[in-house]
Amino acid sequence: MRPNPIASSVVLFVAREGLSVLVRGLDCIDGTPLVDLKPQYCTLAHDVT
C-alpha cells in the first residue's frame, strides 16, 4: 500500500507555464506533484448527420 494514495481526475486544461500545468477542476493542494497526464477523447453515442 502506498503511503499517499494516487487520485484520478478529469480536468479542464487551461495553460502551460514552463514546467507547470494549469488546470481547472482538480481537487488537490497547489504544488501537488503530477504523476501522469493523459488526454480524454470523447465520442458521440449517436449518429450525427
Q: What is the pLDDT of residues 1-49, one digit of tens each?
A: 667 778 888 899 999 999 888 889 988 888 888 888 888 877 766 665 5
Cα gap 30→27, rounded to integer Å: 9
pLDDT given for residue 26 in this prediction: 87
pLDDT given for residue 15 in this prediction: 95
Is the Cβ–Cβ distance between 23 and 14 less than 8 Å? yes
Best CA proximity match to 27, nearest among 3, 49, 16, 11? 11
Is this model's pTM higher than 0.85 or not? no
C-alpha cell, 15: 495553460
Cα gap 7→35, rounded to integer Å: 10
pLDDT given for residue 33 in this prediction: 82
Cα gap 48→39, rounded to integer Å: 23
